[in-house]
Structure 1
Amino acid sequence: MVQCMESPVRAKNVSLDFDFERLNERFENSEPMEILAWCVENITEGLAQTTAFSILSVTHMLYRELNAPVPVIFLDTLHHFPETLETAQRAKEFYGLDLHVYQAKHVSSREEFAARYGDRLWERDVDRFHYLTKVEPLQRALCELEVSAWVTGRRRDQSHTRQQMPIFEQDTQGRVKVNPLANWTRKELWSYTYSHNVLYNPLHDRGYTSIGDEPLTTPILPGEDERAGRWRGSVKTECGIHV
């Protein structure tokens, strides 16, 4: 992975003896708003959010309820559904996002990506595809924006691989990583979304419960996990940015 510096990055105003275990105990039964409010108050420099423009609940909490317009990082893989890009544009206008879009280096379209790395790279080497389109661009974004703590929208009930996910953790470079929705259920997420008029990707209305790249995403079938439509037919469960 890309390194910003030789030593791990740490939140600029969080003590080096930052106690993740104690913090997780404190917030285990807290609502996402409480968790985000703590972050806004205690991590005043270098706080950012990542989003795939699926359901904008975390963005809504930060921008509308907490009045905390933190930088929002979007990884444009060049292989998104048109609906995802349209949602990104709508959200930028609706929330007035401080939006930062990152792509794979040296390319700006699917055609350029295929010409440089070969056609349908995701079928030949999906890990390399995700490294080029997600892992490297994210690390570049975190470095260039001087991010010390980043907020995700992951939940424990999305899949069996996320069931033990903590609310507060450290990424591989020592940054603080916050999962405020960790203990929310899908039902709670949608209840908040509808009651607060939160923007969401219209693909959700067509059976897509987890939305990634167009060639690698399908609607789910009755009884399947929320993320079953990602990498269907593969043992893969994560794209790499959360591993």
Structure 2
Amino acid sequence: MNQSIEPLTQPSNLDLEWLNQKFEQAHPKDILAWCVVNVPTGLVQTSAFSVDDLLITDLLYRDLQPVNPIPVLFIDTLHHFPQTLDLVAKARHLYKLNLKSYKTPGVTMRQDFAAKYGEALWQKDHSRFHYLTQVEPLQRGLAELNAIAWLTGNRRDQADTFINLPIFELDLHQQLKVNPLANWTRKETWAYVFEHDVTYNPLHDQGYPNIGDEPLTLPTPEASNSIELWQN
């Protein structure tokens, strides 16, 4: 089947099976290039500024350099580590990002969130905490940015639930969700980061393999301070 290079407006019309077969062994840069060409407007990168997210940002702005800056949607859960927020500011300046930050409506600080929804909501009702701090802001952000397609840093080896993760899929709102790193491994991600000197969260050097909200993130006991462990 031939795919049109007309600007994408209706993701539901795409032949996702064909696209996934075509790009299954493709480099993430080639997947991103397809997105930049076919979705010149309405393409959004969602980013928690993980190493995978920053790899995508680096490919977009170092290599592809799209004519139209791609909005980077950051969910400020109000519970991030200070190091994460510092990294967001650093990456914003480095890549001159069109950063769009979204948070839970009606609150601006962690203390406000606790006063409105109760202390340590993540312990009492994790599902509600996740919805309030991440799901609702993400959905609102994608809607307000008129997203036709959005980029994630998801990989198949990140979780058992991702083992069959496609590169191209439709989300519940019929937007095109693109996972350019689906067929990559953690080792490949870190290899790229080191080769291209991509900035990353310094907490990784302190034994944190993954970095999310501060109250829910712990270092791995067996990890040393060497980031090389995360390459294996």
Checking the alignment, whether the CA contact within 8 Å between 1:13 and 1:45 is kept in structure 2 is no
**For 1:124-203, what aligned pairs fall within 5 Å after superposition?**
124-203=124-203
Give a deviation string over 1:182-211, Cα, whole Å, max 9, x none: 111111101100111111111111111111
CA RMSD of aligned residues (A): 1.4
Q: Aligned equivalents of 2:25 and 2:123: distance in 1?
A: 41
Compute the displacement of 1:17 (Å).
2.4
Assess, with a 3 A threshold, how the Cα gap between structure 1 residues 206 and 35 changes in structure 2: closer, same or farther: same
1:30 corresponds, among 26, 36, 39, to: 26
Which residue of structure 1 lines up, in the alignment, with residue 56 of structure 2?
A: 58
Q: Aligned equivalents of 1:24 and 1:185: distance in 2?
A: 18
Give a deviation string over 1:94-142, Cα, whole Å, max 9, x none: 1100000000000000100000001110000011001111000001100
Q: Aligned equivalents of 2:122 and 2:34: distance in 1?
A: 39
Checking the alignment, whether the CA contact within 8 Å between 1:121 and 1:129 is kept in structure 2 is yes
Q: Aligned equivalents of 2:8 and 2:34: distance in 1?
A: 15
1:67 corresponds, among 65, 68, 73, to: 65
Assess, with a 3 A threshold, how the Cα gap between structure 1 residues 15 and 91 changes in structure 2: closer, same or farther: closer
Structure 1: gaps spanning 5 or more residues: 1-10, 224-243
Matched residue of 1:197: which SS? coil
Checking the alignment, whether the CA contact within 8 Å between 2:45 and 2:73 is kept in structure 1 is yes
Checking the alignment, whether the CA contact within 8 Å between 1:13 and 1:44 is kept in structure 2 is no
Compute the displacement of 1:12 (Å).
4.5
Q: Aligned equivalents of 2:8 and 2:166: distance in 1?
A: 22
Q: Aligned equivalents of 2:148 and 2:141: distance in 1?
A: 12
Dislocated runs of 4+, deviation >4 Å:
none
Identity rate, percent? 54
The letter for the 2-side match of 1:52 is A
- Structure 1 residue 18 corresponds to structure 2 residue 14: yes
Give a deviation string over 1:59-86, Cα, whole Å, max 9, x none: 0011111002300000000000011000
Which residue of structure 1 lines up, in the alignment, with residue 116 of structure 2?
A: 116
Checking the alignment, whether the CA contact within 8 Å between 1:49 and 1:70 is kept in structure 2 is yes
Structure 2: gaps spanning 5 or more residues: 1-6, 224-232
**Aligned residues between the structures:** 213
Compute the displacement of 1:14 (Å).
4.7
